[in-house]
Amino acid sequence: MGKTQPKYPEINISGKVVESFDINAPKVRKIVWNAPRLIQWFLQEKAKLGDNISAKFTVKRPKRSEEQNNFFHLYLSLISISSGHTIRELKGWYKGKFLSQGISEVFGDKVRVVKSSAELNISEFCELVNLIEEFTGIPTPDPKMFNVPLTHDEYGKLKVKQKEDYQTMKIKKISPV
Protein backbone atom coordinates (compact mmCIF):
# COMPACT_ATOMS: atom_id res chain seq x y z
CA MET A 1 0.00 0.00 0.00
CA GLY A 2 1.40 3.41 -1.04
CA LYS A 3 1.43 6.63 0.90
CA THR A 4 -1.87 8.43 1.17
CA GLN A 5 -2.37 12.16 1.09
CA PRO A 6 -3.94 13.61 4.23
CA LYS A 7 -7.35 15.23 3.89
CA TYR A 8 -7.71 18.77 5.13
CA PRO A 9 -10.91 20.62 6.00
CA GLU A 10 -11.50 23.27 3.34
CA ILE A 11 -14.05 25.72 1.98
CA ASN A 12 -14.27 27.62 -1.26
CA ILE A 13 -15.16 31.27 -0.91
CA SER A 14 -15.24 34.14 -3.34
CA GLY A 15 -15.02 37.88 -3.04
CA LYS A 16 -14.45 41.06 -4.96
CA VAL A 17 -11.35 43.24 -5.17
CA VAL A 18 -12.07 46.81 -4.09
CA GLU A 19 -10.02 49.88 -3.23
CA SER A 20 -10.02 51.38 0.22
CA PHE A 21 -10.96 55.05 0.44
CA ASP A 22 -9.21 56.22 3.60
CA ILE A 23 -8.52 59.94 3.07
CA ASN A 24 -5.36 59.74 5.21
CA ALA A 25 -3.85 56.72 3.45
CA PRO A 26 -2.96 55.75 -0.10
CA LYS A 27 -5.47 53.63 -1.99
CA VAL A 28 -5.04 49.96 -1.13
CA ARG A 29 -6.71 46.98 -2.78
CA LYS A 30 -8.49 44.54 -0.51
CA ILE A 31 -10.96 41.67 -0.78
CA VAL A 32 -14.57 42.00 0.32
CA TRP A 33 -15.68 38.42 0.92
CA ASN A 34 -19.09 37.29 -0.33
CA ALA A 35 -19.71 35.12 2.75
CA PRO A 36 -17.78 36.44 5.75
CA ARG A 37 -19.98 34.42 8.14
CA LEU A 38 -18.95 31.22 6.35
CA ILE A 39 -15.30 32.12 6.93
CA GLN A 40 -16.02 32.78 10.60
CA TRP A 41 -17.88 29.45 10.92
CA PHE A 42 -14.96 27.63 9.28
CA LEU A 43 -12.48 29.23 11.68
CA GLN A 44 -14.66 28.41 14.71
CA GLU A 45 -15.60 24.85 13.74
CA LYS A 46 -12.71 23.50 11.71
CA ALA A 47 -9.60 25.42 12.79
CA LYS A 48 -7.74 25.46 16.08
CA LEU A 49 -5.49 28.18 17.43
CA GLY A 50 -2.05 27.80 15.89
CA ASP A 51 -3.30 25.96 12.77
CA ASN A 52 -1.72 26.97 9.51
CA ILE A 53 -4.18 28.13 6.88
CA SER A 54 -3.48 28.43 3.15
CA ALA A 55 -5.40 30.30 0.51
CA LYS A 56 -5.47 30.15 -3.27
CA PHE A 57 -6.60 33.24 -5.17
CA THR A 58 -7.88 33.03 -8.74
CA VAL A 59 -8.84 36.10 -10.74
CA LYS A 60 -12.20 35.35 -12.37
CA ARG A 61 -11.90 37.61 -15.39
CA PRO A 62 -12.27 35.88 -18.76
CA LYS A 63 -9.16 36.31 -20.87
CA ARG A 64 -8.91 35.82 -24.59
CA SER A 65 -7.95 32.37 -25.76
CA GLU A 66 -4.75 31.43 -27.54
CA GLU A 67 -6.79 31.01 -30.73
CA GLN A 68 -8.17 34.55 -30.39
CA ASN A 69 -4.66 35.88 -29.81
CA ASN A 70 -3.38 34.04 -32.91
CA PHE A 71 -6.30 35.40 -34.95
CA PHE A 72 -5.46 38.96 -33.78
CA HIS A 73 -1.83 38.57 -34.86
CA LEU A 74 -3.02 37.22 -38.20
CA TYR A 75 -5.22 40.30 -38.55
CA LEU A 76 -2.28 42.59 -37.71
CA SER A 77 -0.16 40.80 -40.34
CA LEU A 78 -2.89 41.40 -42.93
CA ILE A 79 -3.06 45.10 -41.99
CA SER A 80 0.73 45.13 -42.32
CA ILE A 81 0.44 43.78 -45.87
CA SER A 82 -2.10 46.49 -46.75
CA SER A 83 -0.38 49.39 -45.02
CA GLY A 84 3.32 48.66 -45.35
CA HIS A 85 3.77 49.14 -41.58
CA THR A 86 5.39 46.44 -39.49
CA ILE A 87 3.40 44.57 -36.85
CA ARG A 88 5.56 46.27 -34.19
CA GLU A 89 4.62 49.70 -35.60
CA LEU A 90 0.93 48.70 -35.70
CA LYS A 91 1.08 47.55 -32.06
CA GLY A 92 2.59 50.89 -31.05
CA TRP A 93 -0.12 52.70 -33.02
CA TYR A 94 -3.15 50.87 -31.62
CA LYS A 95 -1.82 50.96 -28.05
CA GLY A 96 -1.23 54.71 -28.24
CA LYS A 97 -4.52 55.36 -30.03
CA PHE A 98 -6.90 53.06 -28.14
CA LEU A 99 -5.20 51.89 -24.94
CA SER A 100 -3.68 55.17 -23.75
CA GLN A 101 -4.18 55.88 -20.06
CA GLY A 102 -2.70 59.35 -20.19
CA ILE A 103 0.64 61.11 -20.06
CA SER A 104 3.07 60.83 -17.17
CA GLU A 105 6.37 62.46 -16.42
CA VAL A 106 9.32 60.13 -15.89
CA PHE A 107 12.75 61.63 -15.16
CA GLY A 108 11.50 64.92 -16.58
CA ASP A 109 10.33 63.39 -19.86
CA LYS A 110 6.69 63.15 -20.94
CA VAL A 111 5.72 59.54 -21.69
CA ARG A 112 2.46 57.98 -22.80
CA VAL A 113 1.16 55.35 -20.37
CA VAL A 114 -0.60 52.54 -22.23
CA LYS A 115 -2.55 49.53 -21.09
CA SER A 116 -1.36 46.16 -22.36
CA SER A 117 -3.79 44.38 -24.68
CA ALA A 118 -3.14 41.26 -22.58
CA GLU A 119 -4.97 43.01 -19.71
CA LEU A 120 -8.18 43.29 -21.74
CA ASN A 121 -11.06 40.94 -21.09
CA ILE A 122 -12.78 39.27 -24.04
CA SER A 123 -15.38 41.99 -24.69
CA GLU A 124 -12.78 44.79 -24.39
CA PHE A 125 -10.54 42.88 -26.78
CA CYS A 126 -13.36 42.47 -29.32
CA GLU A 127 -14.05 46.20 -29.03
CA LEU A 128 -10.36 46.91 -29.73
CA VAL A 129 -10.45 44.76 -32.89
CA ASN A 130 -13.62 46.57 -34.03
CA LEU A 131 -11.99 49.98 -33.44
CA ILE A 132 -8.90 48.94 -35.41
CA GLU A 133 -11.11 47.71 -38.26
CA GLU A 134 -13.14 50.94 -38.20
CA PHE A 135 -10.08 53.22 -38.22
CA THR A 136 -8.04 51.28 -40.80
CA GLY A 137 -10.87 50.23 -43.10
CA ILE A 138 -9.19 46.80 -43.32
CA PRO A 139 -11.76 44.08 -42.56
CA THR A 140 -10.97 41.21 -40.25
CA PRO A 141 -10.76 37.92 -42.12
CA ASP A 142 -13.66 35.50 -41.84
CA PRO A 143 -12.74 33.42 -38.78
CA LYS A 144 -14.84 30.45 -39.99
CA MET A 145 -12.18 29.62 -42.58
CA PHE A 146 -9.56 29.31 -39.86
CA ASN A 147 -11.69 27.10 -37.60
CA VAL A 148 -12.18 24.41 -40.24
CA PRO A 149 -9.61 21.60 -40.18
CA LEU A 150 -7.38 22.21 -43.21
CA THR A 151 -4.66 20.15 -44.78
CA HIS A 152 -1.25 21.79 -45.00
CA ASP A 153 -1.79 22.44 -48.73
CA GLU A 154 -5.27 23.93 -48.17
CA TYR A 155 -3.90 26.21 -45.46
CA GLY A 156 -1.06 27.31 -47.75
CA LYS A 157 -3.54 28.17 -50.53
CA LEU A 158 -5.76 30.07 -48.08
CA LYS A 159 -2.75 32.03 -46.85
CA VAL A 160 -1.73 32.95 -50.41
CA LYS A 161 -5.32 34.04 -51.25
CA GLN A 162 -5.55 36.17 -48.09
CA LYS A 163 -2.20 37.82 -48.90
CA GLU A 164 -3.35 38.60 -52.47
CA ASP A 165 -6.66 40.03 -51.22
CA TYR A 166 -5.08 42.22 -48.54
CA GLN A 167 -2.29 43.51 -50.81
CA THR A 168 -4.96 45.13 -52.99
CA MET A 169 -6.71 46.82 -50.05
CA LYS A 170 -5.86 50.40 -49.25
CA ILE A 171 -5.70 51.62 -45.69
CA LYS A 172 -7.93 54.51 -44.68
CA LYS A 173 -6.23 57.79 -43.99
CA ILE A 174 -5.34 57.56 -40.29
CA SER A 175 -4.78 60.70 -38.29
CA PRO A 176 -1.58 60.84 -36.21
CA VAL A 177 -1.73 59.49 -32.66
How high does pLDDT run on average in the chain?
A: 84
Residue 133 has pLDDT above 90, yes or no: yes
Together in a domain, 92 and 147 = yes
Residue 177 — pLDDT band, cuts 50, 70, 90?
very low
Together in a domain, 114 and 159 = yes
> 123 with 63: CB under 8 angstroms?
no
What are the distances in angstroms from CA 38 to CA 35, 56, 73, 162?
Answer: 5, 17, 45, 56
Residue 2 has pLDDT above 90, yes or no: no
Together in a domain, 70 and 120 = yes
Q: Which domain holds residue 43?
A: 12-60
* 48 vs 151: CA distance, rounded Å: 61
Together in a domain, 44 and 75 = no
Together in a domain, 71 and 56 = no
Together in a domain, 94 and 153 = yes
Radius of gyration of the chain (CA): 25
Question: Is 18 part of a structural domain of the chain?
Answer: yes
Query: What digits encode the pLDDT tens for the residues 10-58?
Result: 888 888 889 887 778 788 888 899 999 999 999 999 999 999 888 888 8
Together in a domain, 74 and 154 = yes
Question: Is 128 part of a structural domain of the chain?
Answer: yes
Together in a domain, 79 and 140 = yes
How many domains is the chain partitioned into structurally?
2
State pTM to two decimals: 0.58
Query: What digits encode the pLDDT tens for the residues 75-97?
Result: 998 899 889 899 999 999 999 99
Residue 66 has pLDDT above 80, yes or no: no
